[in-house]
Amino acid sequence: MTPFSILDLSQICEGAGASEALANSAKLAQAAEKLGYSRFWVAEHHGMPGIASAATSIVIAHVGHHTQSIRIGAGGIMLPNHAPFVIAEQFGTLEALFPKRVDLGLGRAPGSDMRTNRALRRTLDGSVDQFPQDVMELMAYMGDESDEARLRAIPGEGSHVPVWILGSSLYGAQLAAQLGLPYAFASHFAPDYLFQAIRVYRSQYRPSEAHPEPRVMVGIMGVGADTDDEAQYLFSSMQQSFAAMRRNERIRFPKPVRGLQLTPDEASMVNHMLQFAVVGGPETVRAKVEHFLEATGADELIISMPIHDFDARVRSAEIFAQTGLMQSALSDGNAA
């Protein structure tokens, strides 16, 4: 069996606001914990009317205060947006608040448009190119205590927060392999390099003291419901959201519709981007997840559940947990 985790975007739904979105994130994390999911990660995005997790570290703390044992973390922090020292302090603080529960996934994508990027960073000079050095600098700040260190992140120093490299191309796979770190691939929205990236990561992996073996987490969109038809109806919210992105429209997470009509270009893009989505009733979900795990050999599955109705979102989490394919953290413990 395989550990299952949840990736949450604190979706601001049509007809609601950020307060409700953040409250729902905490409630979904509580449900995931009871169901035996291993991790509950939130993602950094900026300037998006449908996503409330921009202040990612604060959202993680919010989730942590409403849960007891599930691992919590970022999937991920877009490191070029931040000084490594600041992230070391933030995640050192989270580790102090929630010992042995915190993960730090790091990506180099902007998580926003270029105008928002400039507001976040003030300067774009060299930010992405410095990503490997920034990762190593950040890990050093969270490493062993040292009286000789010129800079000391407090909290942060000695926290040893587990770091993951996130990616949607071969770059992240190669970097994770070189650094001996676990790797998470974003196939839930970027499917093109999935299998090649996994091969590159495993074939080039350099064992580290903390991670003697490679570890691959793979993301999918997941919408489970009591019937295939109901799941497809719920999934139309995500399809509308992607189509709106294609039109460069920024909207709150839309309500589902029956008989969704997209233009041929929109349909082609949506179907391609979401080709690994697992959508259906219990039997369909089980069959699709089993096939996906066999095809990828993933060590862990992280599922984003883009569903407008919160009760339906919880029901989807239940259906995935009840496939018989999930290694429950309730009995096996949370893997770092």
How confident is the model over 282-334, as pLDDT tens digits?
999 999 999 999 999 999 999 999 999 999 999 999 999 999 999 999 875 45
Q: What token pair was written down for 238?
A: 């995500």
Task: Place 121 in a pLDDT band, splitting at 50, 70 and 90.
Answer: low
The whole domain housing 35 covers 2-332
pTM of the entire structure?
0.93
Total of domains in the chain: 1
Beta bridge partners of 223: 279
Parallel, antiparallel or unpaired: strands 183-185 and 163-167: parallel
What is the 8-class DSSP label of residue 50? Answer: T
Task: Place 128 in a pLDDT band, splitting at 50, 70 and 90.
Answer: low
pLDDT at residue 117, rounded to an integer: 65
Q: Is it the case that residue 112 has pLDDT exceeding 60?
A: no
Q: What is the CATH number of the domain that holds 71?
A: 3.20.20.30
Instruction: Calculate the average pLDDT of the chain.
Output: 92
pLDDT at residue 265, rounded to an integer: 93
3-state SS of 231-262 is HHHHHHHHHHHHHHHHCCCCCCECCCCCCCCC
Per-residue pLDDT tens over the stretch 259-281: 999 999 999 999 999 999 999 99
Per-residue pLDDT tens over the stretch 179-208: 999 999 999 988 999 999 999 999 999 999
